Amino acid sequence: MALDYCEVCGVMLDGSTPSHPIQDAVICEQCFLSRRTQVVSEEGPVAPEPLQFHCCYCQSLLRLKPVTKRTRVRCPTCNDTFYLHADGRVEAKLEGSRTAVLQQETLPLQPPSSPDASKTQPIKRPDFGAPSSVEQAALLSDLQPKRLEFLDDLPSSAQPVVDTGAFANVGSGSGSGSSLDLLPEDVGPGDADDFQRDAPTLLREGEVDLEPDALRERAERSERGGKPKRRRPPQQKLSPQERKERQRARAKEQLEREQKLEAAEARGAIKQAEAERRVLAGVAWFLLWLLPLGLSLGCAALAASGQGFASRGAVGDLLLRSGEAANTGVASLRDMLFPE
């Protein structure tokens, strides 16, 4: 006779008989329920540890979660970007949009000190110690102090500003004539000094005159609050004969301008008269076209009413038939345009 007992507490299992033993049961129901209530907490999948590496530009220590593909990373310290691969390769930008692999070894997995591993957090660079003031003084001892004696040799006023746009680019292709690039075409090497001495001061738009007198006048004008006066070009001295010639030329130009204006007004008046004549001619032709039509309609009306000079005979019958045909046509046209 074989009986089944609980392997935990040793109690005989219910329902077990010598003829029908319980082969699969090895624990009683109470022990099963007590074991079932003791639930062991199952830990979830372990999150991968974040990567901790140095920036390829500023060597700042960065922390980033592992990547599965080529990912763009921006350093918060230097604000530069590089690319991180899943196998640990780092690509840095060279010029423009080109990149190059800087290191081939796999990045080390170091445990971070901060629990937030989803963000790239910089760590300060190691402090190797700044050079002391004694070392700096020793390094700078060989440098000579600046010499400011050349300020006494400078002239009191600046050199005149020359408008380079008014000169021809002469001799720019040859090495020997490079000193004559800013000279006019009619000035040679011998006249260069005289030309530079006699050349007036030409200022471009937006430039400031650096002469002491001009600067002093500008400062006094700004203190008074007045607007700067525009520099007028110097008037040319003309002889009486040249002045008379200019007056005659000016009078001739004025006369030609008046003649052109009168000719234009005359052409406009002619065009206006031609347009009016064409309008009157069109109105006259329209009235001439309406005259026979009106006469025929009047005669037809008189014939239809039995009055007039041709109410009898063949002429009266013709006018009567034409009036009836006109009435029939008008009635059919009315029915076509305004159907009921």
Residue 125 region by backbone torsions, left for phi larger than 0, else alpha for psi between -120 and 50, else beta: beta
Q: Where are the beta strands (DSSP E) in 71-153?
A: 71-74, 81-84, 90-93, 99-103
H-run or E-run covering 219 = helix 212-224
The string of pLDDT tens digits covering residues 300-338 is 676 566 555 555 566 667 767 777 777 787 778 777 767
Instruction: Note whether residue 122 is domain-resident.
Output: no
Instruction: Evaluate whether 78 touches 84 at the Cβ level (below 8 Å).
Output: no
Structure tokens at 142: 């060989």
Shared-domain flag, residues 63 and 29: no
Give the total number of structural domains in the chain: 3
pLDDT value at residue 170 = 44
Report, as an integer, the average pLDDT of 218-239.
Answer: 71
pTM of the model: 0.22
**What whole-number distance in Å separates Cα of residue 80 and Cα of residue 57?**
8
- Helix pair angle (240-304, 313-337), 10° resolution: 110
Q: Give 81's strand partners.
A: 74
pLDDT value at residue 111 = 45
H-run or E-run covering 92 = strand 90-93
Instruction: Note whether residue 208 is domain-resident.
Output: no
Shared-domain flag, residues 319 and 262: yes
Instruction: Note whether residue 291 is domain-resident.
Output: yes
Shared-domain flag, residues 294 and 253: yes
pLDDT value at residue 62 = 81
The closest of 61, 80, 81 to 71, measured between CA atoms, is 81
The string of pLDDT tens digits covering residues 77-108 is 888 888 888 887 888 765 545 555 554 444 44
Instruction: Note whether residue 9 is domain-resident.
Output: yes
H-run or E-run covering 320 = helix 313-337
Chain-wide mean pLDDT for the chain? 68
Structure tokens at 181: 């690039």
Instruction: Evaluate whether 73 touches 50 at the Cβ level (below 8 Å).
Output: no
Shared-domain flag, residues 253 and 307: yes
pLDDT value at residue 171 = 44
Number of Cβ atoms within 10 Å of the Cβ of 65: 15
4: domain range? 1-38
Q: Is the dihedral of CA 247, 252, 255, 260 positive or negative?
A: negative
Shared-domain flag, residues 95 and 24: no
Angle at 122 between CA 118 and CA 125, to 5 degrees: 155
The closest of 90, 103, 108 to 51, measured between CA atoms, is 108
- At residue 203 the predicted structure's pLDDT band, cuts being 50, 70 and 90, is low
More confident residue, 83 or 171: 83
Structure tokens at 264: 């234009």
Dihedral angle, C-alpha 283, 288, 294, 299, nearest 10 °: 170
